Amino acid sequence: MDMQQRTKIVLAWELHEQGISNSQIARRLETNRETINRWISAIAAQGLLPFLERYRSHAREPRPGRQVPLIIKQKVWFLREREENACGQKIAYFLEQEFRIHLSVPKIYEILSERYVLKQKGRRKQPRGPVPEADAPRQVVQMDSIHFGQVFAFTAVDIFSKEADVLLLPSLTAKDGRTFLQTCLPRRFNGFVQLIQTDGGSEFEAEFAQAVGDFCHRHRVCRPYKKNEQSYIESFNRTVRSECLGWIVYRPEEIAQLTPHVDAFLHRYHYHRPHLGLSPMKPPLRK
């Protein structure tokens, strides 16, 4: 134990004897409050000099690293493969749900790094522009479209419940946008929501704009070049690509074959795959 740590322990006890609270001691010594609490409790039970001696002897002992059994590592690797490159939070969720095993997310990434090359995340908590807020389902639904060559996936997501829908169509016109509106709202969002938000794409003009009032109180078009205003649907679109349709170019005649695949993805998304944006982390439609 170095002299600085010994001095902190002695000062902590002296300040305690002066009637100063542990929180104030922690601030003065720039030490975690829980650490101060442990020091004070131990000194009160053992005495100052015996505690310092025991603390010094324990500090000299090497601490063994926390080893994770191979069988648990194999479960982590298995879930990574089964859940299509799931992140650490989702793997922790499935470990708890299926095997009653609790591992911290950093430990899971440590295990994953033994077998996989993990991508480094970019800077987090970037400033975001204003987006419509929701504190209940059916208040705000964001819509967008994804290009797959000659096939177009129209997408929608409820920003509160994270419930979502996808419809594949062979073209990207305002009539197709209206078709998506007339299909998606009744089957997924009870036919009516308070606000529908889209970007300024041509598929959300003309026939779509004329019909949208039948399905919401207000249609909001997000500001140009402000992708952050469509963050929920952009996130869902990435999920559709990474976990369902990929970055492949499709032909219109393949829509019949692709639709069951999309339906299976939506079922998995709603009832099996946990969503990081829901608290507690769970699938959108599973009770």
Same domain, 163 and 267: yes
Return the closest-CA partner of residue 10 out of 67, 75, 61, 55: 55
Residue 48 belongs to a domain with what CATH number? Answer: 1.10.10
Residue 151 belongs to a domain with what CATH number? Answer: 3.30.420.10
For 115-164, where are the alpha helices, taking DSSP H only?
none
| pLDDT above 90 as % of the chain | 45
Residue 187, C-beta contacts closer than 8 angstroms, at least 6 positions apart: 165
Q: Give the Cα separation of 100 and 269 in Å (integer).
A: 22
Question: For all residues of the chain together, what is the average pLDDT?
Answer: 86
Whether 25 is covered by a domain: the verdict is: yes
Q: Convert the pLDDT of each residue in 196-216 to its tens digit.
A: 999 988 899 989 999 999 999
Q: Give the Cα separation of 275 and 175 in Å (integer).
A: 32
Whether 129 is covered by a domain: the verdict is: no
Same domain, 109 and 189: no
Judge whether residue 285 has pLDDT over 90.
no
Q: Convert the pLDDT of each residue in 125-181 to its tens digit.
A: 444 446 788 899 999 999 999 999 899 999 999 999 999 999 999 999 999 999 999
Domain ranges, residue 8: 3-60
How many structural domains comprise the chain? 3
Whether 245 is covered by a domain: the verdict is: yes
Whether 125 is covered by a domain: the verdict is: no
Whether 173 is covered by a domain: the verdict is: yes
Residue 237, CA distances (Å) to 92, 178, 230, 240, 244 in order: 24, 19, 11, 5, 10
Same domain, 146 and 264: yes
> Residue 170, class by beta-carbon neighbours within 10 Å (0-12 exposed, 13-18 middle, 19+ buried)?
middle
| pLDDT above 70 as % of the chain | 91
Judge whether residue 37 has pLDDT over 70.
yes
> What is residue 121's predicted lDDT score, i.e. its pLDDT?
52
Rg (CA), the chain: 27
> What is residue 287's predicted lDDT score, i.e. its pLDDT?
66
Judge whether residue 184 has pLDDT over 60.
yes
Q: Give the Cα separation of 28 and 24 in Å (integer).
A: 6
Q: Convert the pLDDT of each residue in 232-256 to its tens digit.
A: 999 999 999 999 999 989 999 999 9
Same domain, 162 and 251: yes
Judge whether residue 116 has pLDDT over 60.
yes
User: Do the beta carbons of residue 99 and residue 75 sit within 8 Å?
Assistant: yes
Query: pTM above the 0.85 mark?
Result: no
User: Do the beta carbons of residue 40 and residue 12 sit within 8 Å?
Assistant: yes
Whether 40 is covered by a domain: the verdict is: yes
